[in-house]
Amino acid sequence: MAADAWKRGRKRVTLKYKKPPNPLFEKWLEEWKNEAASRGSDMQYCFAKALSSLRRFPLPLKSGRDCGILESFGNRLCIMLDRKLNEYRKTHPEGIGDRSDDIVTSVIASPVACSGSQSEPKRKNLGRVRVARNNKQYLPAWRSGPYAILLTLHEESQKPDYPGFLTKTELQTMAQPLCDTSFKKLDPGSFYTAWSCIVGLIKRGLVLRNGCPAKFSLTEAGADMAQQLRDRGSASPSRPLADAAPCNIPIHMSSNGHAPYAAASNIDVVNTHMSHDKDYHLTISVKKKDCKNSHPSLKKPSIRKCYKPPPRQQKTADDTVFLVPGLFDVILLVDKRETTGHSGQKHLEGATVAELSILGTLFEVRHLTVGDFIWVCRDRVTGQELVLPYIVERKRMDDLASSIQDGRFREQKFRMKQSGLQNLIYLVESHGDNRRTSLPLDTLTQAAINTQVVNMFTVKITSSHRNSMRYLSVMTRHLSASYCDKTFVSCHRGNLPCCHIRDDLISLMTFSEFNKSSCKTKAKRVQDLFMKQLLQLHGLSVEKVRAILEQYPTLRDLMAAYQAEGSAGEKLLASIRYGFLNRHIGPVISRAIHRFYTNRLL
């Protein structure tokens, strides 16, 4: 009987978002798709794939660059969206607006006491739901991030020793007791901390940010808002909420699923789940509550929330993997060739494993198709791995000399640049007095300098194998501390955007894709073979070859251009610019390439 009564007292309410999370991007992609279709261009299919991928993503994106984490979004399309967004902002200075203002859920509760003798028709009136647009003044949710920040700054400003501002660390520490969510760590299934709201407070003109490091203070509007929150009786974080009185207060549910500011006290929100489908539905289960012994004077009604977050690592329709803070480990992966000895270095067999074990470094020995060391983030439950944007190639001085002579030096640097990882590290290790090498020490030093200056690598020189392992151990601890509070999302190598260590959401590729895409024996395109052939010519670097391939993707295109130019073909490539300095390839290299492909006798 009790179970039947409990079921009758529950009512499931499904609310539908009025707008998708990225309406402008969807609108522009739809326009570009229709325009391409009217011209008969194949670009219509590219826009259609990007539009489908965008509609499956449940979160708002702030710029076209942020779309790079999605499938079917390349650099060119992201740039087009950013340009369109800049044009839109020039004509609409008021901005795009906050989606959370477009969705308001109001629950109207019956003031009748919930006694056991209440009739069934009256029970049904307790769950009536209506959806209305919120035109009221902005008011932070109780015990939310904005609520805690405004009250903290207001209370500190009243103290006689207040310096006029608070730093980020001070503000986070002082505001934490007033907030239900963490200011520093992401909750499971969430992409934002309580600190993420500081941007919105600054845009609303409630908080000022000055200087570097940042100093935060209240504006006049922010002080008025904080005083308003204080007058409403919301200043005490430990004030009890039990035995609240029945009242008719709307629930303001934001699009990010945060707790409501207030609700009718005779309704408990026992389960809230956001489904990431195309139509963006929000499902709330409501249960009736005994309303005896009420206290009408209490302003904050009783709310019990049990938010059910999505899994700590989930796969969407396109197999996207998410890793959330606190639920993964940063592990150093060591190429197995570094632990078995090579090139006659049998005395180093097992030295790498022994040194890393003594230093207490979390590592694994595995076959790597490129590089000697990389770092991965591994989920503690599912074991899925995402590769951090760091790769290390270790060279001992004698091995460096041999690799320069047989061509492995240039090839390995080229393959590291093609790996898709952003931070390339070349670890050069001294070998005794460095005299027993096949090349002079000055030549090896110049090669290391060129690697750093010309190829834009980070070059680290160590005095011994032990110091090299210490460097890797320190790097492992540094990466673990720097990325422990980040959220990672998997991304295909072709769509991988540039990331920064300060970003809260970072796109990485999976380890399986990294190893597969960097394999030497994979099927090569004609353009890849043409690139490798050009790299063997003296004076050609990766940047120069890429610039040539942009104009002439294959050897057939280049030979056709030579035939069309005739005797002037020697200067065909001289005016092509390359690199970030935008320099010309020059007539000497252009003449050498022309002679190599046109002369029968070399």
Cite the active site residues.
335, 338, 372
- How open is the CA angle 467-468-472, to the nearest 5 degrees? 115
The structure tokens listed for 473 are 């151990």
The structure tokens listed for 505 are 């959401």
Strand order in the sheet with 207-210: 166-167, 215-218, 207-210
Closest of 600, 418, 602, 557 to residue 573, by C-alpha: 557
564 to each of 367, 547, 557, 569, 599, how far by Cα in Å? 48, 20, 11, 8, 16
Alpha-carbon distance of 29 to 47, in angstroms, equals 6
- Residue 269 has a CB neighbour count (10 Å cut-off) of 20
Cβ atoms 216, 165 nearer than 8 A = yes
Cβ atoms 9, 287 nearer than 8 A = yes
How do 458-462 and 423-429 pair as beta strands? parallel
Alpha-carbon distance of 33 to 43, in angstroms, equals 7
Alpha-carbon distance of 412 to 395, in angstroms, equals 11
The structure tokens listed for 50 are 């990007």
Alpha-carbon distance of 6 to 16, in angstroms, equals 26
Alpha-carbon distance of 71 to 254, in angstroms, equals 27
The structure tokens listed for 243 are 């035995």
How do 423-429 and 385-396 pair as beta strands? parallel
Residues facing residue 283 across a β-bridge:
14, 273
* Residue found under tokens 């922010």: 222
DSSP 402: H
Alpha-carbon distance of 56 to 61, in angstroms, equals 13
Helix axes 145-157 and 168-175, enclosed angle (nearest 10): 110
- How open is the CA angle 206-208-211, to the nearest 5 degrees? 170
Alpha-carbon distance of 321 to 305, in angstroms, equals 27
Residues facing residue 377 across a β-bridge:
330, 386
Alpha-carbon distance of 393 to 412, in angstroms, equals 8
Residue 492 burial class via C-beta count within 10 angstroms: exposed 0-12, middle 13-18, buried 19 and up: buried
Closest of 338, 315, 426, 331 to residue 387, by C-alpha: 331
Q: Coil, strand or helix: which one is 256?
A: coil
Alpha-carbon distance of 305 to 271, in angstroms, equals 7
Count of alpha carbons within 13 angstroms of residue 374, beta-carbon side: 30
Alpha-carbon distance of 80 to 266, in angstroms, equals 51
